[in-house]
Amino acid sequence: MFTRGNSEAARMALTRSLTIAESRGDAASQLQLLGRLHLFHHRLGDFRTGLHYAELGSAVASRLKDLSAGALAHCLLGISLSYMGDLSRSRSELESALRQGPGAQRSSTLFHGFDHYSFSRAYLARTLWLQGHAAQALKRARQTIDDVAGMDHPVTLAVALTMAVPVFLGTGDLDAAQEHADWLIIHGDSHSLRPSVMAGRGFKGELAIRRGDAKSGVESLQSCLAELRAAHYELLTTDFSISLAQGFAALGRFAEGIALIDETITRVEVNGDLSYMPELLRVKGGVLLSMPQSSADDAEKCFLQSLDWSRRQTSLTWELRTAIDLATLLDRKGEFQRARTLLQAVFEQFTESPNTLDLKAAERLLATLG
C-alpha cells in the first residue's frame, strides 16, 4: 500500500487477514487491521467506507478495555470526521486520542503500525486550520514534524509532512510549504514511498499556481493527478483538483475549470470528502465571475451555498474566504452596507491575530468598505 499504491491485492490481503482475526476472536489484531483498512480506503478516496471501518474499530476497542486501543479508535474516528466535514466532532475525537499522551506510542504501534499520538496531532492541525485557528494549527504541524523526524519511522513522517503542507499553503506561508514539499519528495524517494513523492510534486504544482506560474502549475498538477489515480491514491486529489481549476481559470481555460469543479463536486458527494465542498463552491463562483460573459447571479448563488456549507461544518476558514469573495461582488453591485455587514460578522469570529493572507485580505477590504 505504501510503496506501490492502493492495489486490489493489498485490499484482499488486509480483508483476508481481518477475516482470520475475527474467526479467532483476536480483538487486538482486528483493531490493527481495521485501522489499516481505514487508512487504505482513505488513501483510495473512499471516505465513507473509511468512516465505517473507524466505527467498527471503536466497537472493537471498547471490548479490549485498553487505553491505547481506545486512543487509537478516537484517532481513526477523528480523521474520518475531519474529511467528512464534521469538524467539531473531529476535533473532540482527536483531542481525546491525545489525552493519553505520547507514552503510549509503543503499544499503539503494535496495534496499528504507527503511533496514534503523531497521527492525531497531524490531523488535528488540519482540523484546527479549517476551524479558523491558524496559529494553533501551525504550532501543531511544526511540533509534530519535529518530533516525528527523530522517530526513525518513515511512514509516520510522510503522513505528518503530507498533512502539514496544506496548512502552510492555507495560511499563506509559501516558503514553509515549499520547504516541506521538497522534504516530502526527498523522504518519499529515499524510502520508496512513491505516493508520497507524487503528493509532494502535487504540492509543488499548487505552489507554482499560487506564485503566478499557472502554466507550469497546471502541467505539473495534470501529470501528478494522472499518476496518483493510476496508483489509486486519491487522498489529495480533491485539493489538487481545486488548485488545477484555479490554474485553468488563470490561463483563460474557463470551460475546463468549471467542468473540473462540477466533476469534483459530484465525486465528493459520493465518496464523502465533504470538507472541501465549501471551497469547491467558492472557487466555482470565482471562475464564473472571471469568464468573459460572467454571471454575477450564478456566482452569488455559489457563494451563498458555500457559506451555508461552511457554517454547517463550523469551518471559519472557508467561510471567511467566501465572505471576502461575496463582499467583493456585493461592493461591485453597490451593496456596500450588505457587504460590510457580511464580512464584519465573519471577521470578528477570529480570535487570533490577523497574520494569515485571508485575514489580511479581509482587513483591507473592510477598510475600503468604510
For residue 225, which of 193, 264, 253 has the smallest C-alpha distance?
A: 264
CB 209 within 8 A of CB 246: yes
What integer pLDDT is reported at residue 296 of this predicted model? 92
CA 276/CA 257 separation, integer angstroms: 16
Return the percent helix, strand and coil in the chain, to nearest 5.
80, 0, 20
Domain ranges of the chain: 1-101, 125-183, 193-272, 284-370
- Tens digit of pLDDT for each residue in 200-218? 999 999 999 999 999 999 9
C-alpha cell read off for 174: 509559501
| pLDDT value at 302 more than 90 | yes
Tell me: pLDDT of 110 over 50.
no
Where does the pLDDT of residue 114 fall: very low under 50, low under 70, confident under 90, or very high at 90 and above? Answer: low
pLDDT in tens, 182-197: 999 999 999 999 989 9
Distance CA 46, CA 38 (A): 9
The superfamily CATH assigns to domain 1-101 is: Tetratricopeptide repeat domain (1.25.40.10)
pLDDT of residue 130: 97
Instruction: Please check the confidence at residue 80 and state whether its pLDDT lies above 50.
Output: yes
CA-to-CA distance for 44 and 234, rounded, in angstroms? 5
355 φ, ψ to 5°? Answer: -110, 10
Mean pLDDT over the full length of the chain? 92
The answer for 294, left when phi > 0, alpha when psi is -120 to 50, beta otherwise, is beta
Does the structure show a pLDDT above 60 at 109? no
The yes-or-no verdict on residue 222 having pLDDT over 50 is: yes
- Specify the CATH number of the domain 193-272: 1.25.40
Residue 295 has pLDDT above 80, yes or no: yes
Q: Is 122 exposed, middle or buried (0-12, 13-18, 19+ CB in 10 A)?
A: buried
- Mean pLDDT in residue range 297-313: 97
pTM: predicted TM-score of the whole model, two decimal places: 0.93
Q: How many residues does the chain have?
A: 370
pLDDT at 91: 98
State the Rg of the chain over Cα. Answer: 21
C-alpha–C-alpha distance, residues 139 and 75, integer Å:
19
Looking at residue 270, what is its pLDDT?
A: 96
Q: What is the pLDDT of residue 103?
A: 54
Residue 113 has pLDDT above 80, yes or no: no
Q: Which of 88-102, 129-143, 167-181 has the lowest mean pLDDT?
A: 88-102
Q: Using CA atoms, how far apart are residues 340 and 97, in angstroms rounded to an integer?
A: 40
Same fold, 1-101 and 193-272: yes
Asked if pLDDT for residue 170 goes beyond 70, the answer is yes
* pLDDT single digits (tens) 22-75: 999 999 899 999 999 999 999 999 999 999 999 999 999 999 888 888 899 999
> Is it the case that residue 246 has pLDDT exceeding 60?
yes
At 106 the pLDDT is 47
Q: Residue 102: is its pLDDT beyond 60?
A: no
For range 9-23, the mean pLDDT: 94
